[in-house]
Amino acid sequence: MKKLSSFFLSCFLLLCFSVSLTGCAKDFITGKKTFNFYSTGSDVELGRIVIKQQLKALEAQNKAVDREADSEELKRIRKIVKRIAAVSHIPSFPYEVHLADLDVVNAWCAPGGKIMVYTGLWQPRKGLVQKGNDDEVAAVLAHEISHATARHVTEMISQISTIQIVGEVAASVIAGAGAPEGSNMFREIFYGGVNIYIPSYSRKNESEADAVGIMYMAHAGYNPQAAVNLWERAAKESKSDKTSIFASHPSSGERAAALKKLLPKAMEIYRATKK
């Protein structure tokens, strides 16, 4: 953990040179001003660092990645990400998605649009989505992409820090040390010999990603009913495995209920894409 913290600290101290002196930035979701020290370019750089380290950790343990993991599913998720990214609030992010052969029921999107999906997401026994169901996969990926376009990670870093100490605070938040419970962070979890990174978000940010994500998938031509189905199913699953999406994403019945309220609007958008 110290090694990871030092790495991110060094990177963020460099990124601090690109920090805005005012802390004001545009919220691409609402169009209003928001408090964020970082430029979107810094989000992209952070995402590049995170995905590079994750791929390096997987390679060190000889885990199959991308085509070696599952070429057909990689092709599927790349197509889905491309469609969702195109209708997102920040289509200019350099989106990319990787698939790792781990029985971890999870997927995440780092700042700037770097996405990791684990094959366990559609595991027959304990997975969340049905393998081959584009709508359900899109529901997960649209939610994760929404965290990136809402810039949740760098917003949270900015909110709990000052311009003088933003580098140090950023490092502790990303490494998962010393950050308030429930705040945005990347937690390093040791799983099957691999250090995997799992982001954790506040309830407010999860709700926003749900609301934005269901609209993204609808605009991209994926049935938003799948999002409701997923989280109704997730509400019945165990949260004991801290690496799973059930633990890293609140999965109570309230979440599915909130999505149901958004469903009429989302379905209207979805039907319009089919005309």
Q: Coil, helix or strand for 235?
A: coil
* Of 73, 144, 155, 188, catalytic: 144
b/e burial code for range 121-150 (CB count within 10 A of at least 16 → b) = bbeeeebbbebebbbbbbbbbbbbbbbbbb
Q: Report which of 96, 91, 118 is spatially closest to residue 107, judged by C-alpha positions.
A: 118
Tokens standing for 262? Answer: 């958004």
Cβ–Cβ under 8 Å, residues 251 and 230: no
Q: Can 144 be counted among the known catalytic residues?
A: yes
Question: Biggest alpha carbon distance in the chain?
Answer: 54
Cβ–Cβ under 8 Å, residues 87 and 217: no
Tokens standing for 217? Answer: 């998938």
Nearest-angstrom CA–CA distance, 208 and 213? 8
Nearest-angstrom CA–CA distance, 66 and 57? 14
Tokens standing for 58? Answer: 């997987």
Q: Which residues are catalytic?
A: 144
